[in-house]
Amino acid sequence: MTEETVLTRDELAYINRLVNRAGPDTAASRTGFRIDGGPQPNELLVRLASQTELSLQAKFPDFTMSFPLQLKEDEFHNLDLQLAPPLIYEEHGSVTRAWRLQLEEPLALLTSDGSESSLSVQELSSHGLLVNAGKHRKPPKHFHLCLALPDDAPLEIEASRVREMKGGLAAYEVEFAKEQDAERIRAFLYQQHQRLHPELQPELPVDLV
């Protein structure tokens, strides 16, 4: 079994700088690292990337961040590891679950013409929603609507109900039409996590600038 590698706060600060500089728009705008391990290590990385998903893990006492990595090889066989916005998990003893952002203001789910539906989002995670259908409405089993993140264009989501609660609330599992949409959600959650947990975002050391 391989030894687990844990990032230091300085290393995470550097990754934060790269991811935030890249922006959430598209995978093409990602920033990453040039890999130069020599022919054999590079060949091993290419083989691993073709067979499995690569990620970079940052572990803290209460949270884990998993940064998806994509390997790019140019015509000269130089390798770049590109970072995407992370999946964030929270730790509760032996239980690990996706971190959920409790929204200060609910986000309305929109129909295809941009008008507000009767559903609003109370909590948001990378793959799920807590939706309020209203006290006197039964939450639907499925819906296909648009979610407008603050200061961003709406994105399409396909949601399936996994648990119904009192007061018109229900938890949904979400699928996205495009991988870029999933990245936009993760980038928004990452920004909010940084805002809510500034203690995990130290000042960048001079030697990393």
Q: Write out pLDDT tens, residues 145-170.
A: 999 888 888 999 999 999 999 889 99
Residue 3 domain flag:
no
High-pLDDT (> 70) share of the chain, %: 80
Residues 45-80 have pLDDT tens digits of 777 777 788 888 888 888 999 988 888 777 777 788
Same domain, 48 and 110: no
- In this prediction, the residues of the chain whose per-residue pLDDT falls under 50 are 1-4, 22-29, 203-209
Same domain, 79 and 134: no
Residue 1 domain flag:
no
CATH code of the domain containing 154? 2.40.10.430
Same domain, 52 and 82: yes
Same domain, 44 and 110: no
**Residue 18 pLDDT:** 60
Residue 2 domain flag:
no
**Residue 116 pLDDT:** 93
Give the closest residue to 125 by CA, choosing from 180, 172, 59.
172
Distances (CA, A) of 172 to 120, 129, 163: 12, 5, 7
Same domain, 120 and 54: no
**Residue 122 pLDDT:** 96
Same domain, 94 and 105: no
**Residue 2 pLDDT:** 44
Domain that holds residue 83: 9-98+182-204
Phi, psi of 104 (to 5 degrees): -65, -35
**Residue 29 pLDDT:** 44
CA 4 vs. chain centroid, Å, equals: 22
- 179 vs 26: CA distance, rounded Å: 9
Write b or e for each residue in 106-135: b if 16 or more Cβ atoms lie within 10 A of its Cβ, otherwise e. ebbbbeeeeeeeebbbebbbbebbbbbbee
Confirm whether pTM is higher than 0.85. Answer: no
Same domain, 167 and 71: no
